[in-house]
Structure 1
Amino acid sequence: MTTRHRPRWSELQEILRPAPVRLSATDRRLARAASIADLRRLARRRAPRAVFDYTDGAAGEELSLSRSREAYSRIEFSPRVLQDVSAVDTSTPILGKPSAAPWIFAPTGFTRMMHTEGEPAVGRVAARAGVPYALSTMGTTSIEQLAAAAPDVRRWFQLYLWRDREASRDFVERAQATGYEALMLTVDTPVAGPRLRDVRNGLTIPPTLSLRTFAEGSLHPAWWLDLLTTEPLEFASLRRFEGTVAELVGSMFDPAATMADVVWLRELWDGPLVVKGIQTVADALAVVDAGADALVVSNHGGRQLDRAPVPLEVLPSIVDAVGDKAEVYVDGGILSGSDIVAAVALGARAALVGRAYLYGLMAGGERGVQRAAEILQQEIASTLALLGVSRVEDLRRDHVRLRQD
């Protein structure tokens, strides 16, 4: 027979104690976000369609994007049990320096379009997270502005080769003068990829006010208020340019670039040289021979060549071919800490994360980026522990397999 008693007020107080009140609605929403997918949903509600689609979309039919994501869904972990995981260490060396976790904030263009706090917010979060951040040539914050706004972050600069080589040289010299650690050369953009969502949305930089965008603005007033009451949105390193992404790439990027240009940059740049956009073993070996210290297995997030190789699938063969001649990173389709762990187990030194933190930025500015970083870090630590691995360096290929069904 169950014995019941009337609860005392002191007992009820413990149960009914209210949660701390968060004054900011944004903070409340971000605190409830338990995954990057949750941040993506918040971002979709906050940002105009053209802005969200710029981040969320890819080239052509977006098969490269969907296949990259699908590859991670086929990862099956092989955990070991009864291992001491009481103290999990997520740190790993990247380019010879300690990083708190095996991931890097990837370079992204038009970042202040997602939220006016933009690249400085990302840089500050990266500094707190203890991981590198690569500023894009197509950024909305200049090389010098980021150095001033986030002096403590491990700053890398991502470079496109221009038809005007002196313009490329100027970028390199400015990055060197302001203490950037590494130069990241992107090599998969001889021409612009056909980003159909952007075409259909009529996306331009800066965004233009039309009847359509005015109607969109009524649904997203906070975003438009930020845009119209802060510094004008522009390519900070390419001032005075106005037009579409395709027009910019067509007028400035160099489709005649060759491996000799990698050699030229190697002679020009004193620090570590990273080459991003590698999709084959042959190109991996070629850029290493040309002087690259690291390379990124990448199809540009599916935003250039549709039906390009899936980075996760070609990663092991490239890692095997390169050996210890250079560090190998990977990107594309990474939306969780477990994705990062899987990539490292398959041989990557680190993963580049782009869309994941941009969803956070759209959802809540710097606080949203911070929440994205927290989610990824928590997921990395818990995945390692559940795998029976206490250190990133102990991850091996036999911890994962890529299902073929």
Structure 2
Amino acid sequence: MTNMGPGRTRQTQVYVRGLGGERPAVPVAPERLQAAAQAKLAAADFAYIAGGAGAERTMRANLAAFERVRLLPRGLSGRRERDLGVELFGQSLGSPLLLAPIGVLEAAHAEADLAVARAAAAEGVPFIFSSQASVPMEQCAAAMGATPRWFQLYWGTDDEVTRSFVRRAEACGASAIVLTLDTTLLGWRPRDLDLGSLPFLRGRGIAQYLSDPVFRSRLDASLPAPGTAPPRTAALLRAGAELRARGRPYHLSLTQMRAAAARFTATYTRPDLGWDDLSRLREWTGLPILLKGILHPDDAREAVTRGVDGLIVSNHGGRQIDGEVAALDMLPDVVAVAGDLPVLLDSGVRTGSDVAKALALGARAVLLGRPYVYGLAIAGEAGVREVIQNVLAEFDLTLGLLGVGAARELGARHVVR
């Protein structure tokens, strides 16, 4: 039987099951996908995952930017089969899709990053481990086998912890380090603020730290002095129970967990991170270094001169600055000055046609974020797999309908801005 490709294969699977009255567990349409996830999640968890900065203008701008780009198909030029593959840093990938680093995935599902790692491996899609993960990178790497994984780095005020993260990423087979530039301070997020909810204070999303030998070595020095324990209010008792539960896998007491959460929140951001720090990161690792959060062409030029290996055009999914420029709008300008450096896009990607638009505007690959987290919330590992399958199916069909035989052939001639 002729290979139908992921697009027709996925379509056929869904429609055949529909004959028996079975509908997909994970909605295909982006709006319905988000709504189904919201119905599964506690209010604070959904707020953290779905929310953005300020009035969420940047989140809307990211989506509007994709609306403004129109695809332009060519007739009588289709191919029976399409090649979705791309190459990044000497690795051949089956598609231009990577799963973005997202913290506190336990807010979506109990298996958190581990479920995502398994789904990524099953679908052959790289997963970028987050510094703010709910499962240590070593466990996720073990679940992924030979599937590529990268590590996203937040550079905090403790350089030795940062360096330890890099060493661990190398040891667990990461093939790139993604330094995030746009979160040197936590953005103003009204959804979380209105609920008074910051997950890190409850010990959520700090598994990389709790499992890190350098970070753990700092805890004894940060323990509270005798007689300074907080008053036993009901809210603190509930928070203490959560911290105690989260400390068990790491053999930490409640007091140590409180100290760990406090130390993390005091040290994880570094507002004065500068260009000269890149030279130190280069000394620490021989892995390719990508800068995530590049929007200004001048920053892209500086990155080239500093010898970085790749750029990710991103505004953190609209979670950091309200009213910020849309990532897709800046993609062509960054690509124009990046030279031979691979440029990836993050922020606002929801569908397979979005992937095609980003590649046509010069991205080598894209990072998918909130949609896979919604799939995780709805159906765990299986939900993540369905979201990946749906995005790649639509991307494959979009290529075919555009008259394009390979992802690498997409270019400016295929879009109207």
TM-score after normalising by structure 2? 0.80
Unaligned runs of at least 5 residues, structure 1 = 1-16, 23-27, 215-226
Corresponding residue for residue 322 of structure 1: 338
* 2:44 aligned with 1:30: no
Q: CA separation in 2, counterparts of 1:76 and 1:102? A: 20
* 2:246 aligned with 1:232: yes
Summarize the alignment of residues 265-280 of structure 1 with structure 2, pairs less than 5 Å apart.
265-280=281-296
* 2:69 aligned with 1:75: yes
Q: CA separation in 2, counterparts of 1:261 and 1:65? A: 30
Q: CA separation in 2, counterparts of 1:351 and 1:137? A: 20
* 2:307 aligned with 1:313: no
Percent sequence identity over aligned pairs? 36
* 2:148 aligned with 1:132: no
Asked if the contact 1:298–1:330 (Cα under 8 Å) also holds between the matched residues in 2, the reply is yes
The one of 316, 332, 335 equivalent to 2:350 is 335
Asked if the contact 1:344–1:350 (Cα under 8 Å) also holds between the matched residues in 2, the reply is yes
Secondary structure at 2:343 match in 1: strand
Asked if the contact 2:94–2:125 (Cα under 8 Å) also holds between the matched residues in 1, the reply is yes
* 2:181 aligned with 1:187: yes
Q: CA separation in 1, counterparts of 2:357 and 2:151? A: 26
Summarize the alignment of residues 188-337 of structure 1 with structure 2, pairs less than 5 Å apart.
188-205=182-199, 206=202, 232=246, 251-324=267-340, 326-337=341-352
Summarize the alignment of residues 42-191 of structure 1 with structure 2, pairs less than 5 Å apart.
42-191=36-185
TM-score after normalising by structure 1? 0.83
Residue identity opposite 1:289 in structure 2? T
Measure how far apart 1:277 and its partner are.
Answer: 0.7
Measure how far apart 1:242 and its partner are.
Answer: 5.6
Deviations 1:276-309 (A, max 9, x none): 0111011112122222111100111111112222
Q: In structure 2, do the counterparts of structure 1 residues 210 and 149 end up closer, same or farther at CA, with 3 Å as the change threshold?
A: farther
Q: CA separation in 2, counterparts of 1:235 and 1:251? A: 23
Q: CA separation in 2, counterparts of 1:160 and 1:105? A: 17
Summarize the alignment of residues 388-399 of structure 1 with structure 2, pairs less than 5 Å apart.
388-399=403-414
Q: CA separation in 1, counterparts of 2:100 and 2:289? A: 15
Q: In structure 2, do the counterparts of structure 1 residues 201 and 267 end up closer, same or farther at CA, with 3 Å as the change threshold?
A: same
Asked if the contact 1:301–1:332 (Cα under 8 Å) also holds between the matched residues in 2, the reply is yes
Q: CA separation in 2, counterparts of 1:312 and 1:100? A: 23
Q: CA separation in 2, counterparts of 1:138 and 1:257? A: 18
Deviations 1:312-346 (A, max 9, x none): 1110011011121x110011111101001100000
Asked if the contact 2:332–2:361 (Cα under 8 Å) also holds between the matched residues in 1, the reply is yes
Secondary structure at 2:398 match in 1: helix
Q: In structure 2, do the counterparts of structure 1 residues 74 and 288 end up closer, same or farther at CA, with 3 Å as the change threshold?
A: same
Q: In structure 2, do the counterparts of structure 1 residues 322 and 131 end up closer, same or farther at CA, with 3 Å as the change threshold?
A: same
Measure how far apart 1:364 and its partner are.
Answer: 0.9
Q: In structure 2, do the counterparts of structure 1 residues 86 and 306 end up closer, same or farther at CA, with 3 Å as the change threshold?
A: same
Q: In structure 2, do the counterparts of structure 1 residues 18 and 369 end up closer, same or farther at CA, with 3 Å as the change threshold?
A: closer
Asked if the contact 2:156–2:267 (Cα under 8 Å) also holds between the matched residues in 1, the reply is no
Secondary structure at 2:356 match in 1: helix
Q: CA separation in 1, counterparts of 2:357 and 2:98? A: 15
Residue identity opposite 1:55 in structure 2? I
Residue identity opposite 2:246 in structure 1? P
Asked if the contact 1:140–1:235 (Cα under 8 Å) also holds between the matched residues in 2, the reply is no
Q: In structure 2, do the counterparts of structure 1 residues 295 and 306 end up closer, same or farther at CA, with 3 Å as the change threshold?
A: same
Q: In structure 2, do the counterparts of structure 1 residues 47 and 57 end up closer, same or farther at CA, with 3 Å as the change threshold?
A: same
Q: In structure 2, do the counterparts of structure 1 residues 207 and 137 end up closer, same or farther at CA, with 3 Å as the change threshold?
A: closer
Asked if the contact 1:138–1:235 (Cα under 8 Å) also holds between the matched residues in 2, the reply is no
Aligned-residue RMSD, C-alpha? 3.0
Secondary structure at 2:145 match in 1: coil
Unaligned runs of at least 5 residues, structure 2 = 1-16, 205-232
Asked if the contact 2:289–2:310 (Cα under 8 Å) also holds between the matched residues in 1, the reply is yes
Measure how far apart 1:356 and its partner are.
Answer: 1.0
Q: CA separation in 1, counterparts of 2:247 and 2:45? A: 13
Q: CA separation in 1, counterparts of 2:258 and 2:331? A: 37
Q: In structure 2, do the counterparts of structure 1 residues 258 and 234 end up closer, same or farther at CA, with 3 Å as the change threshold?
A: farther
Q: CA separation in 2, counterparts of 1:69 and 1:143? A: 31
Residue identity opposite 2:360 in structure 1? A
Q: CA separation in 1, counterparts of 2:67 and 2:132? A: 31
Secondary structure at 1:54 match in 2: helix
Q: CA separation in 2, counterparts of 1:295 and 1:18? A: 42
